[in-house]
Amino acid sequence: MTLTQGLFITIEGTEGMGKSTVIASLSEFLKEKGFDYLLTREPGGTEIAEKIRQVILAHYDETMQAETELLLYFAGRLQHVQTVVLPAKSAGKIVISDRFTDASFAYQGGGRQIPVEKIRLLEQHFINDLQPDLTLLLDAPIEVGLNRIASRGEKDRIEIENIAFFERVRESYHQRAREYPNRFRLIDAGGSVEEVQEKVHHIFNEFFSK
């Protein structure tokens, strides 16, 4: 089934919220419904943006400046939007992205404490204020997520941040959800995989029944 204009749906949340599991479940859901869809991620989603992802997440002897990190995210995002998101939407596909601009407001705005006005300027000038049609925000106490990722092996440059950083990220996500209540759906990610999947499927059934 191909939509006339396509849809852009994003999955957000702090570390260890189960975004990958939810996206895999959504893939099966959309396949069963017969929708034409595309799975992608940020940072990444294109050959160039994946290289930028490697630069962002790698460890360095020097400290990466907060603004450098922000600009790298938006460089990858611009490439992602123009190369993947907009063409797929124009073709009538449902684009499911693991993170988008809300993550910059949460991680660089809340976590790094960069003024949101700077992030809004980049959003306006480089991606033309593109907003998702629906955003699922997976949420649970920070300790829950960090405990889940403790056994993953070596952590990337973002994952090694302290709890205070992630608490600011989480609160910024909540602020975004309050600011855009029409597109955000807050999901308690503290339960079992089956419980979270059931909530996600309920939201999707409701969304597509409109």
Residue 57 forms part of a structural domain: yes
For the segment 180-189, what is each residue's pLDDT rounded down to a tens digit?
Answer: 999 999 999 9
Tell me the residue range of the domain where 45 lies. 7-208
For the segment 91-122, what is each residue's pLDDT rounded down to a tens digit?
Answer: 999 999 999 999 999 999 999 999 999 999 99
Mean pLDDT of 126-142: 96
Residue 184 forms part of a structural domain: yes
Residue 203 forms part of a structural domain: yes
Q: Where do we find the tokens 């290289």?
A: 51
pLDDT of residue 142: 96
Residue 1 forms part of a structural domain: no
For the segment 42-91, what is each residue's pLDDT rounded down to a tens digit?
Answer: 999 999 999 999 999 999 999 999 999 999 999 999 999 999 999 999 99
- CATH number reported for the structural domain that contains residue 131 in this entry: 3.40.50.300
| Number of separate domains in the chain | 1
Residues in CB range of 99: below 8 A, 6 or more apart: 10, 11, 12, 19, 41, 42, 43
Mean pLDDT of 167-188: 98
Mean pLDDT of 130-141: 97
For the segment 17-48, what is each residue's pLDDT rounded down to a tens digit?
Answer: 999 999 999 999 999 989 999 999 999 999 99
Sign of the four-CA dihedral 120, 122, 126, 131? negative
